Each structure stands twice: as C-alpha cells, then as structure tokens.
Amino acid sequence: MIVKSRRSFPLLSVFFLAAAASAQPAEKAQATPPSELTVDESFDLPIGKPAFRSGKGPAVVVDEKHRNVVSLKTYFGPVGRFLRKDGYSIASGIEAFTPKDLAKTRVLVIANAQAPEGSPDGASAFSDAEIAAVEAWVTKGGGLLLIADRAPFGGPARALARAFRVTLDDNTILRRGGDGKPDGVLTIDVSADGEKAHPVFAGVSTVVYVVGESLDGPGPILRAPKGTYSGPTSQAADGPPAAGKPIILAFSHGAGRVVVIGDAGIASAFGSRGGETHRGISEADNALFVRNTVRWLAR
C-alpha cells in the first residue's frame, strides 16, 4: 500500500514551475510560495547487493546547517534511508564546516543551501572560513556532492562553487511543452547528452532533470538536450538556446572528487497531493545515478 507523507514544506523554487499565469518573465526569480508538495516517504527501493556491510560504509554527512531546503529532515530523508541500505553511515551536519568535523566525513552532501536569514540577495550561504575548509578537505581526499537548484539557489552557493572553478548560472533550463508553455521537467537520454562511460552512469539510460540550472566548469558529464533554452525564471517564455550547456559536472580536485548538479529533484523524494506521488529520485534511473554518484565520491 502506498502511504503519502502528511508533511508539507515551502518549496522555495526547488522543483516545479510556479502555477501563477500572471508571473512576469522579465522579473527576477522569486521563491515559490508554500505548496502542497510532500516528502515521498513511500520511496523504498530495494538494494540486492549492498556496497558495504550495514553501517560499515563511509560516513556521508548531509548539510543541515545552512537553511537547506533539501536535507534529511525533508526531501533527502528517504534518499538517506536508501543509502543506508547500501551500507553507508548517514548523518545530518548541523555545525559550520571546520577541518576537525570534516576529517570524520567521507562524502559531504550540500543541497539548496541558503544564506542566513535577512541576508541581501545573492549573499553566500557559507563563510570564507567554511569555504576554505571544504576546499582543503576535498583536496586531501574528500568527496563533495554540491547541489544548487534553479534561481534563486545558485547565488548562495556561488562562492563555494567558485573554489572548485565552477560557475553556477543561477538560471532555469526550460523547453516548450506540448501546450507551448515553459516546461522544465526534462527526461534526458544519457547516450545522447551525457558521458555514458563515466562510472556515475553505469547502468543508467535516462535521468529526469527537474527544473534546474546550468553550470560551467571542469568535467561536464551531462548537458542540456536540444530544444532547451535558458530563462531567468521558470515562467520565461523564451531565452537564449541552452542545448549543450553542462548541467552535471564530475571531476577530481586534488586527491578528492566533486560532483555538482544543478537540480535538487534528481536526489529528492517528493510527491504532491492530487498529483503524482513518486517524483524526483523515483523517476527514470535517477536512483541508480544517485547511488553510483555517492559510490564514486566515496571511492
């Protein structure tokens, strides 16, 4: 039996196009008002051959300190349980990043971080000391999964991304749907638009990219497909062509590894009342992609 979660969260522009037809395309992207999207607590994909014995795998810490819209308390919760089945030790990160705390971590997941309350638009979610600590930790062998969704989530993560020579475009990758309206839910053929031979795509044929942004930097492994364009908001009816723009990066940094994804939906378990229950990680081969990504980062 499928049981829907009774919890709901302000989505803050994480996943879906805003429904209001009155939105003005030229305006700056705004956070989406509170919605009826819920955590898909029923996501429970089995793992036949775990990578590690239960609880004996590498330590994976999911950031919760930086007002993260996606964390173990919300849409990453069922994903964390999925990774525990693979043997990983999963924990919330509730402190600022320091060399001491990061030394105990093998994989750090940062998803849709936000600047401190009351900060000006575009302010960093992370202090200079935190950015330096994370960069040094990765250089020494850590694995970083940095996820920054469409505008306005690129801005708060931009300074951290820049430490790894990555630019977050803070835009929205869209196409025109069958009704002619903007649509940011993209089912992408990895063979056509990705580096199929990369380990994160082992066994992966398609992924669903859910209203995300584009990126620039080392190691592009997935690009926006033909027919897409770049919009300042999810309601933009037109914009510069986006086909070929990187949307997922995976690269080495010193002795460590980094994966940057411009879409939180891939690694989130969510649904909606009166709509589809299983979205995000339940779609296409997203779950296998996430599992492969964490394994690649953990070596």
pLDDT band at residue 30 under the 50/70/90 scheme = low
Copy the structure tokens of residue 113.
């971080």
Residue 4 is assigned to a structural domain of this protein: no
Copy the structure tokens of residue 125.
């979610």
CA distance 28 to 212: 16
pLDDT band at residue 33 under the 50/70/90 scheme = very low
CA distance 206 to 208: 7
Q: What is the structure's pLDDT at 273?
A: 67
Residue 220 is assigned to a structural domain of this protein: yes
| Helix 286-298, helix 77-85: angle, nearest 10 | 60
> How high does pLDDT run on average in the chain?
89
Largest CA distance in the chain: 53
* Higher-pLDDT residue of 67, 275: 67
CA distance 29 to 258: 27
Which domain does 112 fall in, by range?
35-298
pLDDT band at residue 35 under the 50/70/90 scheme = low
Q: Which residues contact 10 (CB under 8 A, 6 or more apart)?
A: 31, 32, 33, 34, 35, 69
Strand 107-111 versus strand 59-63 pairing type: parallel
Residue 126 is assigned to a structural domain of this protein: yes
Copy the structure tokens of residue 146.
């940095």
> DSSP H helical segments within 43-153, as ranges?
77-85, 99-102, 128-139
| 135-166 confidence digits (pLDDT tens) | 999 999 999 999 999 988 999 999 999 999 99
Choose among 75, 16, 13, 10: nearest CA to 41: 75
Residue 141 is assigned to a structural domain of this protein: yes
Q: Is the pLDDT of residue 7 over 80?
A: no
CA dihedral 214, 216, 219, 222 (to 10 degrees): 20
Residue 93 is assigned to a structural domain of this protein: yes
* Structural domain count, the chain: 1
CATH of the domain at 126: 3.40.50.880
| 195-246 confidence digits (pLDDT tens) | 999 999 999 999 999 999 999 999 999 999 999 999 999 899 999 999 999 9
Under 8 Å between Cβ of 297 and 145 = yes
Residue 29 is assigned to a structural domain of this protein: no
Residue 28 is assigned to a structural domain of this protein: no
Choose among 71, 79, 77, 140: nearest CA to 105: 140
What's the pTM value of the predicted model, to 2 decimals?
Answer: 0.90
Beta bridge partners of residue 206, listed in sequence order? 189
| 235-250 confidence digits (pLDDT tens) | 999 999 999 999 999 9
Q: Is the dihedral of CA 172, 14, 64, 101 positive or negative?
A: negative
Residue 241 is assigned to a structural domain of this protein: yes
